[in-house]
Amino acid sequence: MVRVANFLSGRKRKRSFRTWNSFFSLRSHQNNFRKQKRVISLNYFDLTFEGSFEQLMESNQSKPGLLCNPEVSQRTLYPYVTGTSVVALKYKDGILMAADMGGSYGSTLRYKSVERMKPVGKHSLLGASGEISDFQELLRYLDELILYDNMWDDGNSLGPKEVHNYLTRVMYNRRNKFDPLWNSLVLGGVKKGQKYLGMVSMIGVNFEDNHVATGFGNHLARPILRDEWHENLTFEEGVKLLEKCMRVLLYRDRSAVNKLQISKITEEGVTISQPYSLKTFWGFSAFENPTLGAEGSW
């Protein structure tokens, strides 16, 4: 027992000596660090810095982005190439939708052949205003959704209501990440004789109606639709009404171009027309001097 006790006490004393030795060694290293200017190499998010500790602190105070790189996470601060209004309505056999083909780079009408209406699955038609690249990203999401749905091979397919609900969740989710998809969407379709028409804003606000519009169409086309729309519209009457709305938007919206498409979706499927132009008349007296009588105008 004595030998065991001595053995244990010897190991304990030996271990204590090593512990104190390590402690004093650490203190000496700390003192040396305080006294000497050590060279520091920093590599953080592809940012490099070499210099003394004091230089690092001064640089960090003058440039807060050194230790927190703002380029790691980027957001869409402003849209680049955008499309303007989309107008859609229900008619007797299905849904009609109209949009022009302009793509504006800021205030410049840079592109004249941008298609902003696309079929989604078997029963839906999607139109978009806003950032064109975000619209293309949404189309990739929807392609994956339709492919996943088809893989089940169970005889069912997503209808317009399901696709619309999916879009509302995607837009609201991106809004909550403070990285929105910069679009206003119109989704229409027909499934099992039921017509469906709704829209989604860039922050996830959504609703259904008999006629919808995005952009300037909310202000200029919806009043016309409220006055002239009825549920028994024929195809020809619906096209004529949409052309009237698009003509007003062409007169009043600087981002609109006189090159448009009209699409329809029925139980038989989606049909998108070839691009065409509207007949216009610019001889109105109000167009000759539009600022006449306007106070504060140039």
**Each residue of 111-168: pLDDT tens digit?**
999 999 999 999 999 999 999 999 999 999 999 999 999 999 999 999 999 999 999 9
CA geometry: angle 270, 272, 276, nearest 5 deg: 165
**Each residue of 218-273: pLDDT tens digit?**
999 999 999 999 999 999 999 999 999 999 999 999 999 999 999 999 999 999 99
Please check whether the domain covering 81-272 is classified as CATH 3.60.20.10. yes
Q: Is the pLDDT of residue 75 over 70?
A: no
CA distances from 244 to 84, 115, 190, 206, 222 (A): 16, 20, 24, 25, 11
pLDDT at 1: 45
Sorted by where each begins, the domain ranges of the chain are 81-272
Q: Is the pLDDT of residue 40 over 50?
A: no
Measured from the Cβ of residue 172, the count of other Cβ atoms closer than 10 Å reads 17
At 124, which amino acid appears? Answer: S
Both tokens of 12, joined, read 């304990």
Catalytic residue among 19, 76, 214, 271: 76
Spatial CB neighbours of 111, under 8 Å, sequence gap ≥ 6: 81, 102, 103, 105
pLDDT at 45: 39
pLDDT at 289: 80
Confidence of residue 19 (pLDDT cuts 50, 70, 90): very low
What size, in residues, is the chain?
298
d(CA 124, CA 185): 13
pLDDT at 39: 42
d(CA 127, CA 168): 14
Q: Is the pLDDT of residue 42 over 80?
A: no
For residue 82, indicate whether it is catalytic.
no
d(CA 217, CA 179): 25
What are the DSSP calls for 171-194, one per residue?
HHHHHHTT----EEEEEEEEETTE
Residues 44-66 as b or e (16 or more Cβ within 10 Å = b) = eeeeebeeeeeebeeeeeeeeeb
Percent of the chain whose predicted confidence (pLDDT) is above 70: 73
Percent of the chain whose predicted confidence (pLDDT) is above 90: 66
Q: What is the 3-state secondary structure (H, E, C) of 104-146?
A: EECCEEEECCCCCEEEECCCEEEEEEEEHHHHHHHHHHHHHHH
User: What is the SS3 assignment for 298?
Assistant: coil
pLDDT at 298: 57
DSSP 276: B
At 63, which amino acid appears? Answer: K
With beta carbons less than 8 A apart as the criterion, state whether 48 and 39 touch: no
CA-only gyration radius of the chain, Å: 33
In the block, residue with structure tokens 């804003």: 201
**Average model confidence (pLDDT) across the chain:** 83
pTM of the model: 0.73
